[in-house]
Copies of this chain bind each other. A is one copy, B any other.
């Protein structure tokens, strides 16, 4: 393989000049630059970038931890992260974890091993005390309320949003309200659970476990929810659904089974995905692409910051 000395010889310049051209150093004459580029092309010289990274201590790779690749919520988030990465000349290393802790650990190990410059964790299972040990190796950015932590975060105040949503449904006459969620664990879910509990205490209604549906991620999960609802003697009159996909699935099922929405069942979605627009679903708009962009920018910053993303109620036909 041709090395930098061969290139210098071919171009009739010094090794330093070749190095300067390779690193886009400004103080090289156009003439010499052209000669070096010609020599590189002729010799098909490959610069081993890993060697370059080794000397610079930077990889221009940012790790992104997501539980699933094939979910519109994370799809939109990655879209935002990827858009800003391109702008800043970074590449992304994707870790699809399926919420398995060992896969999150692999991402943390790569940060430790300097294979990535920073790590964005969009959703996690691993505990804070585990993650904390890796903070000295590079920036970790979280998509959750981490204001009390020594990491940057862009987050939605899920306690506040859920409280708002419940209050909105209550003003519409509902006091038997259920909710559908991806998983019951995780900080975001815990915040929602707390809001749900506080709301029920306030309106002096008991919490019924059969009104809470977990593992609700995809359109097809809506069918499962509606079937379970039908089997209940005491039914909720409204559902807070943390994903528009699931809300759309529930609405489609209700239409098929002639359950009038919102008269018999009100449906309030989250995200304002395109499907919510087309199916006229009342929902909370979360600017996910925006959120993704902010997460990326925090990952390349040298300071710790916390940004709250505001959501907006979009009133349509399902409440």
User: With contacts A71-B75, A103-B86, A278-B223 known, is A49 near B96, CB below 8 A?
Assistant: no
User: With contacts A46-B112, A218-B274, A220-B278 known, is A86 near B96, CB below 8 A?
Assistant: yes
Q: Which residues in chain A, 215-260, are within 8 Å of chain B measured between CB atoms?
A: 218-220, 222-223, 249, 252-253
List chain B residues, Cβ under 8 A from A50: 50, 53-54, 59, 114-115
Among A76-84, A183-191, A194-202, the one that faces the other chain is A76-84
CA A110 – CA B44 in complex, angstroms?
A: 15
* A binding-site residues for B, Cβ under 8 Å: 44, 46-51, 53-54, 59, 61, 64, 68-72, 75-76, 78-79, 82-83, 86, 91-96, 103, 106, 110, 112-115, 136-137, 218-220, 222-223, 249, 252-253, 274-275, 277-279
Contact B137 A46 (CB under 8 A): yes
Q: Could you list some 30 contacts between A and B, CB below 8 A?
A: A46-B137, A48-B54, A48-B113, A48-B114, A49-B110, A50-B50, A50-B53, A50-B115, A54-B54, A69-B79, A69-B82, A70-B76, A70-B78, A71-B75, A78-B96, A82-B94, A91-B93, A91-B94, A91-B106, A92-B93, A92-B94, A93-B94, A94-B94, A219-B278, A220-B274, A220-B275, A220-B278, A223-B278, A249-B278, A252-B278
